[in-house]
Structure 1
Amino acid sequence: MTTPKPGDPTWVDLYSADPDRAIAFYGELFGWTAERAGEEFGGYITFRKDGKAVAGGMGRMDGDDGPDQWTIYLASADAAATADAAAAHGGTVVVPAMAVGEVGTMAILADNGGAGIGVWQAGTSAGFEAIGIASGGHWSEHAGIPTWFELHTGAYDAALDFYRGVFGWQDPFALDDGSGFRYTTIHAETPMLGGVMDTSVLMPGTPASWTVYFGAEDVDKATEQVAALGGAVLMPPMDTPYGRVSGVADPTGARFSIGGNKI
């Protein structure tokens, strides 16, 4: 894992009503182990794959009836300044910048289209200790590791302006096939870690949201295992020009995607 640039996806964590069930589910599905931090960190969970930190998790707060979900964090040199910039560009600060001991500083935002996104300013932890690179279709080489991060939004142009202004995205690679499919990567050069998809034509009315893809050796088998472990299949496996993907949810409803090579 190289040092993330500002605006790079740098961490993901799970907000779950049943952390114990989540630990069991992701352990079976991806082979993750889990470590719980002390009370000073609220029992925060670090998920590891082959000993390397690949994700985090926390239990739902008392009185919160919001959905279980995965949150993607983008790197920032100054989380407080990023939160201020988000507000200035039409976003909302959901959780103001707050220090997490010496580990780093976090904030939670909603972008100008309503999609939730986290901010991480590195302290002793820069975030991922292992991450896959999905470009070239080699997702299956990174089974159980985050490989791609994607924003779905109907406010495509406005969202790109937001992330350029708030996170400094520069010179992305853009695709427009003329049929309504528009896609922009976070960066123009490798390693490309994610992108933004316009849903206004292909999936009109879909709420804006970020999703994380985890790699799999066999997308179809991993998707079947999600269902067998009590999760749900939201989008059956399908081939794309960049690999085979599916959309799923864990047993308490947190959504994520699975990606792998075509079969």
Structure 2
Amino acid sequence: MITTDFVPGSPAWIDLGAPDIDAAAAFYGAVFGWQAQAFDEEMSSYKAFRLDGKTVGAVGQLTEEGARPAWMIYFHTPDVEAAVRAVEQAGGAVRTPPSDASDEGRFAQVTDPQGAQFALWQPGSYPGIEAADGPGSLGWIELYTTDSKAAQDFYRSAFGWTGQDMQLPGGGGTYTMVTPKGSPPERMFGGVMAVPDMFASGKTRPYWHPVFGSADCDATIALVRENGGSVSMGPEDAEGVGRLAVCNDPAGAEFVVLTPAPEPAPAT
């Protein structure tokens, strides 16, 4: 689960790089009920997404040359310079060196050895997202990669994550659930899965994507389609997980919608 009491290596922030931030705001507003609001009058090209008054992420103008519309996951660190060094020592690369985001914090954008992009967030006055693990907010993240073991080795070295393997039904492969260093199993926040066939053509690189909660997966998927998005998988039921679908917004950014399975009734 994603929480807002951030610890080193846990997801702390998420933003969308979009070619048209107003179009993105309209889509996600229709699907999740998010309201887009500029952080200040001088920064109209970067807006917060808020749900019931709490920030759940942001959207910014896609400016990086050759970049595709996508969600970016930021991981919490108390020292962004030290985290960048750890990323480099583990074999990753730096795309944007440590930089100030006003007095709100410091960030850096990096890439793992398989090519998946992510970012680092050292909070100043702004810790990160204000709501998580509920309908319309971030509840899980996933890495699709070419080599799960190599990816796990990298993130273990860079962040100290621990992993727990589970076998997917029907011979679907191994899914590894990851937890921040020194945290209990209930702080698992994401999964790593090798899907090498997806990247065989070289047109797509490994990537992280977000999983947003929904009270009714099918109703949310209907809104995705009605507002110009598409569904590449599902909706379908995953035993012990819930009902989910893999979606793309109108610009092509991927995300997952999940209605979690009910908690098992306590033993009597």
- Please report the TM-score for the alignment, with normalisation by the length of structure 1: 0.88
* Structure 1 partner of 2:55: 53
RMSD of the TM alignment (CA)?
A: 2.1
Q: What amino acid does structure 1 have at the position aligned with 2:187?
A: P
* Structure 1 partner of 2:164: 173
Whether the aligned pair in 2 keeps the contact of 1:37 and 1:43 (CA below 8 Å) is no
Whether the aligned pair in 2 keeps the contact of 1:6 and 1:168 (CA below 8 Å) is no
What is the deviation of 1:177?
6.1
Secondary structure of the corresponding residue to residue 224 of structure 2? helix
For residues 101-122 of structure 1, the C-alpha deviation after alignment (integer angstroms, 9 at most, x for no partner) is: 1101111111011101111111
Whether the aligned pair in 2 keeps the contact of 1:232 and 1:248 (CA below 8 Å) is yes
For residues 9-44 of structure 1, the C-alpha deviation after alignment (integer angstroms, 9 at most, x for no partner) is: 111101111101111111111011111123654632
Equivalent residue pairs, number: 251
* Structure 2 partner of 1:105: 106
Separation (CA, whole Å) in 2 of partners of 1:165 and 1:77? 17
* Structure 2 partner of 1:147: 139
* Structure 2 residues not aligned, in runs of 5+: 263-268
* Structure 1 partner of 2:258: 259
Whether the aligned pair in 2 keeps the contact of 1:76 and 1:167 (CA below 8 Å) is no
* Structure 1 partner of 2:266: none
Secondary structure of the corresponding residue to residue 176 of structure 2? strand
Whether the aligned pair in 2 keeps the contact of 1:116 and 1:209 (CA below 8 Å) is yes
Q: What amino acid does structure 2 have at the position aligned with 1:24?
A: A
- More displaced stretch, 1-10 vs 95-104: 1-10
Separation (CA, whole Å) in 2 of partners of 1:153 and 1:65? 20
Change beyond 3 A, Cα 1:217–1:106 = same
Whether the aligned pair in 1 keeps the contact of 2:135 and 2:214 (CA below 8 Å) is yes
* Structure 1 residues not aligned, in runs of 5+: 133-141
Q: What amino acid does structure 2 have at the position aligned with 1:208?
A: P
* Structure 1 partner of 2:235: 237
* Structure 1 partner of 2:189: 193
The answer as to 2:97 corresponding to 1:96 is yes
Change beyond 3 A, Cα 1:160–1:89 = same
Separation (CA, whole Å) in 2 of partners of 1:182 and 1:32? 34
Separation (CA, whole Å) in 2 of partners of 1:9 and 1:162? 17
What is the deviation of 1:64?
3.3
Whether the aligned pair in 2 keeps the contact of 1:244 and 1:262 (CA below 8 Å) is yes
Mapping of residues 26-41 of structure 1, within 5 Å: 26-38=28-40, 40-41=42-43
Secondary structure of the corresponding residue to residue 248 of structure 1? strand
- More displaced stretch, 211-220 vs 186-195: 186-195
- Please report the TM-score for the alignment, with normalisation by the length of structure 2: 0.86
Identity of aligned residues (%): 36
* Structure 1 partner of 2:216: 218
